[in-house]
Structure 1
Amino acid sequence: MEGELYSALKEEEASESVSSTNFSGEMHFYELVEDTKDGIWLVQVIANDRSPLVGKIHWEKMVKKVSRFGIRTGTFNCSSDPRYCRRRGWVRSTLIMSVPQTSTSKGKVMLKEYSGRKIEVEHIFKWITAHAASRIKTIYNAERLKEEWNKSDQYWVKIYLFANLDQPPAFFSALSIKFTGRVEFIFVNVENWDNKSYMTDIGVYNMPSYILRTPEGIYRYGNHTGEFISLQAMDSFLRSVQPEVNDLFVLSLVLVNLMAWMDLFITQGATIKRFVVLISTLGTYNSLLIISWLPVLGFLQLPYLDSFYEYSLKLLRYSNTTTLASWVRADWMFYSSHPALFLSTYLGHGLLVDYFEKKRRRNNNNDEVNANNLEWLSSLWDWYTSYLFHPIASFQNFPVESDWDEDPDLFLERLAFPDLWLHPLIPTDYIKNLPVWRFKCLGVQSEEEMLEGPQDIENDSDSESTDTFSSEKEVFEDKRNVVHNSPGRASHCDPEACSCANKYCQTSPYARRGRSYGSYSTNEDMEPDWSTWPADMLHCTECVVCLENFENGCLLMGLPCGHVFHQNCIVMWLAGGRHCCPVCRWPSYKKKQPYAHHQPLSNDVPS
């Protein structure tokens, strides 16, 4: 009883802030009243040049009284749409009540006009409840109850009210209209019963009693936490037991947005960054939710899935009639009636998440946690301009002297693989971290290599990388060469454009064929020393950028994909904006799972 009193007090407070709807015309009235088939509307119609049937003070009292039972109210002034009033026959001020005409879900709506003589709140309220109660099936004797109890019809879920009343309560009648086609409401009037033994047989001992009858069994409403005898409590209970698809969608929408808003506290850094990430998260989560619901709705429309739908409802009824479900419903009603408390609780949880997340990230990235709004906006602007204003790669690498006229295959190849996308600027700092080593052959070692140590190799690598970066711009502006040639076509390396050309590249295939592999022996006599190579690099003896064999003592550089090239060749390739492997197109800044390495033969060549 304390819970019922508390619920009544909360409804009294809520009714003080209830407002009535003012209809602007026929379409507004149709959308809210005639097209809404799951509730009761009480509308005061004010005829042209007439005073309202119910005065302002009495109308405000009427609005507060009926709103406690889920009845919506409105005012239609015929001066806003006189043609519609004449067509409806509203020539004088009156009261109109709309109720569903049939017992099926989303059926037609019937408009009833108040014909009473007494214009008082209590008389009008009795008129409303009498019409609403007439839709509920009423049982007056035990034989009819026994017949109804054992009958199986289209309604899988029925709720019985056993009470010593002339008619069911107003909230019970309002719920019967709201759940039309989903739950059957039955009122058992035991006021004049002499033999109540059958009620004892079905488990009814107290009055009033609310009994939910389902295919799974009998559930006595009111014995668990939060199950008050009120409109809001019973509405929440019936929605969980026999939900509609719209109820599940609204629940998923609320949960998804609560999770998305928590990203405001998970994100660390500047305040503007938090809200930008929040907006992005809200858009992403809600879009994914809607996209996920579309196939579900289509799935439920299939006619041969009725058994699946029934089993799903059976599972929901089993889970939502437990004690745990009653606790969840009680908390839901409590927080929904106290929005300020709900917001403060949610904010408290968010601050706790923010504290622990900040503590976890403090040791990893101080700059991100302590970044202010200006710094983050600056970084965001740099990121945006890098995507917006970076030159198109196909135009950047376009050759000055095109040989498309001489070789039409190049023209067809360019059309087959166009590159017309805006590519982001990628920092070249990662190039310094790529593995660098010298190519050595077994049994061959020069005097300089015997004197040089590991430190000299690193110095040579750094100096050559520095020289390459400083001269790459001039080289690319003076000599631009197309390196994407077909395997069957002969390729020539320009000695000025390739930094390794003076030592390794020849200007003609004949000179290259006659050149020795090393300083002391020929290509056939030498075996590469694979032990000096990093473990995750593929074994090869030729650079595919300049198409030259590796000389003994030359510097090599490997990419994350495992392919190996001359250091100068691949540095110039990457610095030109092509951040991918020339062989497999794997991003040169992205790690890759190492290959299952095998011991190669001396004549292994890249495929």
Structure 2
Amino acid sequence: MDKELYSLLDSRGEVYRRSANRSRLVTLAKTKVTVEESVSPMLIDLESLIISDLKQLLDQRGIMYYSTSTKHDLIGAVNISGPVTTEAFNHMKQMGEPKIGPIHELNAFNIEETVEKHNDSIFLINILPPRLKSSYFNESSWKALRRKLTYMDFKFGELDCDFEKRICLKRKWNISTLYLHTPGKENVAEYYIRDDYNIHRIFTSIQTEINYRITLISSWDTFTSSKWAFYRGSKDKIAVRVILFTNMTVPPMFVSSLSVKYREKVNFGMVNMESNTGRRILRKLKQKYWPLLLVVTKQGILSYGKLPGEYFTYRELDFFLSTLLQDFRPTEKWYHKLSIVLDPTWIGLLIANFVVRNMFMNGIRNEEGNQGNQQDADDVDNN
């Protein structure tokens, strides 16, 4: 551990005494956290955009807005969620809107086995109650919600209680319900659809539900801890950390969704720029502007969004992280592969084979021993 600390300080040309108290050396290492310098990209003039373009930018980021929102309101929402480069805007126009995700027809078996036990995606399911017993989540609202969540790679399903009465009675699904399965969470979320339902409120509730992997970083000591900007060495299981500096109380849904997808591989944190602590952390990093998305690796701290292809959207940040993680994939030991080769069936067969062979060999030995004893007896009789 100390050797790694000395190596870090030596690589940065720090002057220190090896006899110094270790906590002072750690403090010295932490005070030199720097963000890699890069050229600021060309940002687009949001005032020049039409309302439909501003709404699509917000849809890409998972930011909800009202149909009656003014252009001024939309520009403010875009600005607070992250910069928009000219390249990112042109890319959005070229790609257009994504095709709305398909609906999977579910039943009692696949909702419990496929969705809840063996599924690694965020799944939103529309529970259709018994006919004439409840108000329905109308088709246009369901489609509008799916269109927004498709940007975040949600999966969708429907379960009809007229055909799946048993599970609906078991789960008490007697009114129209939206069922949200979030990987990594023990409890699921259910949203009951009544006559006064509101799409904006449902979207906000979903956003809050999937935000469980985002940690609020409230001090410089926390920021420079081994969970975020400082590395202890090879013992660190999480090699990549993503930290968002923002005024938003809840991060954009594209960040929250990715925090669920990479929950075992990447730490996601947020610094509140409304607080004095948040602005102090930014000053120590010698950064002036926010929102800012930092990606921390063992090679340094990168400011995401300044290079070509780095956009504040789910798809592009997902591609960036998946590519980055390939460089930090641990070398697989030979014994790690045993669980793949030796599944329970194979292990059972091997044990059975060993027992049978052992019994067979013992039988041969016993028989040979008996024959030997008989020969000795014959020799004695002959004498």
Which TM bucket (shorter chain)? 0.5 to 0.7
Structure 1: distance between partners of 2:288 and 2:135: 49
Per-residue deviation, residues 411-446 of structure 1 (Å, max 9, x unmatched):
xxxxxxxxxxxxxxxxxxxxxxxxxxxxxxxxxxxx
Q: What is the identity percentage for the equivalent residue pairs of Structure 1 and Structure 2?
A: 23
User: Match for 2:229: what amino acid?
Assistant: W
Answer whether contact 1:8 1:230 (CA < 8 A) is retained. no
Structure 2: distance between partners of 1:215 and 1:84: 49
Structure 1 position 22 matched with structure 2 position 99: no
Per-residue deviation, residues 2-37 of structure 1 (Å, max 9, x unmatched):
23324544665214x4332222x1222235421344
Alignment CA distance shift 1:22-1:192 (3 Å): same
Shift of 1:163: 1.3
Shift of 1:149: 3.4
Structure 1 equivalent of residue 243 of structure 2? 160
Structure 2: distance between partners of 1:226 and 1:85: 46
User: Match for 1:129: what amino acid?
Assistant: Q
Structure 1 equivalent of residue 27 of structure 2? none
Per-residue deviation, residues 508-541 of structure 1 (Å, max 9, x unmatched):
xxxxxxxxxxxxxxxxxxxxxxxxxxxxxxxxxx
Higher relative contact order (CA 8 A, sep 6+): 2
Answer whether contact 1:4 1:230 (CA < 8 A) is retained. no
Shift of 1:58: 0.8
Structure 1 position 176 matched with structure 2 position 176: no
Shift of 1:64: 0.6
User: Match for 1:92: what amino acid?
Assistant: I
Structure 1 equivalent of residue 115 of structure 2? 33
Pick the aligned partner of 2:190 from 113, 138, 141: 113
How big is the alpha-carbon RMSD for the aligned residues of Structure 1 and Structure 2? 3.1
Equivalences for residues 224-235 of structure 1 within 5 A: 224-235=307-318
Answer whether contact 1:162 1:187 (CA < 8 A) is retained. yes
Per-residue deviation, residues 235-257 of structure 1 (Å, max 9, x unmatched):
01111111499x9xxxxxxxxxx
Pick the aligned partner of 2:128 from 37, 46, 54: 46
TM-score under structure 2 length normalisation:
0.57
Alignment CA distance shift 1:196-1:140 (3 Å): same
3-state SS of paired residue (1:132): helix
3-state SS of paired residue (1:80): coil
Answer whether contact 1:161 1:186 (CA < 8 A) is retained. yes
Answer whether contact 1:7 1:228 (CA < 8 A) is retained. no
Pick the aligned partner of 2:176 from 74, 77, 93: 93
Structure 1 position 79 matched with structure 2 position 114: no
3-state SS of paired residue (2:97): helix
Shift of 1:45: 0.7
Answer whether contact 1:45 1:52 (CA < 8 A) is retained. no
Per-residue deviation, residues 554-595 of structure 1 (Å, max 9, x unmatched):
xxxxxxxxxxxxxxxxxxxxxxxxxxxxxxxxxxxxxxxxxx
Structure 1: distance between partners of 2:214 and 2:192: 22
3-state SS of paired residue (2:238): coil
TM-score under structure 1 length normalisation:
0.37
Per-residue deviation, residues 31-54 of structure 1 (Å, max 9, x unmatched):
542134432111111122245541
3-state SS of paired residue (2:303): strand
Pick the aligned partner of 1:139 from 210, 217, 221: 217
Structure 2: distance between partners of 1:53 and 1:239: 39
Alignment CA distance shift 1:196-1:62 (3 Å): closer
Structure 1: distance between partners of 2:141 and 2:273: 35
Q: Which runs of 5+ in 1 are unaligned?
A: 103-108, 248-295, 304-607
3-state SS of paired residue (1:134): helix
Find the structure with the greater CA-based Rg.
1
Shift of 1:213: 1.0
Structure 1 position 301 matched with structure 2 position 379: no
Structure 2: distance between partners of 1:46 and 1:138: 37
Answer whether contact 2:101 2:156 (CA < 8 A) is retained. no
User: Match for 1:48: what amino acid?
Assistant: P
User: Match for 2:260: what amino acid?
Assistant: I
Answer whether contact 1:141 1:193 (CA < 8 A) is retained. no
Answer whether contact 1:95 1:113 (CA < 8 A) is retained. yes
Structure 2: distance between partners of 1:48 and 1:243: 48
Per-residue deviation, residues 169-194 of structure 1 (Å, max 9, x unmatched):
00000000011101111111112226
Q: Which runs of 5+ in 2 are unaligned?
A: 1-84, 339-383
Answer whether contact 2:245 2:293 (CA < 8 A) is retained. yes
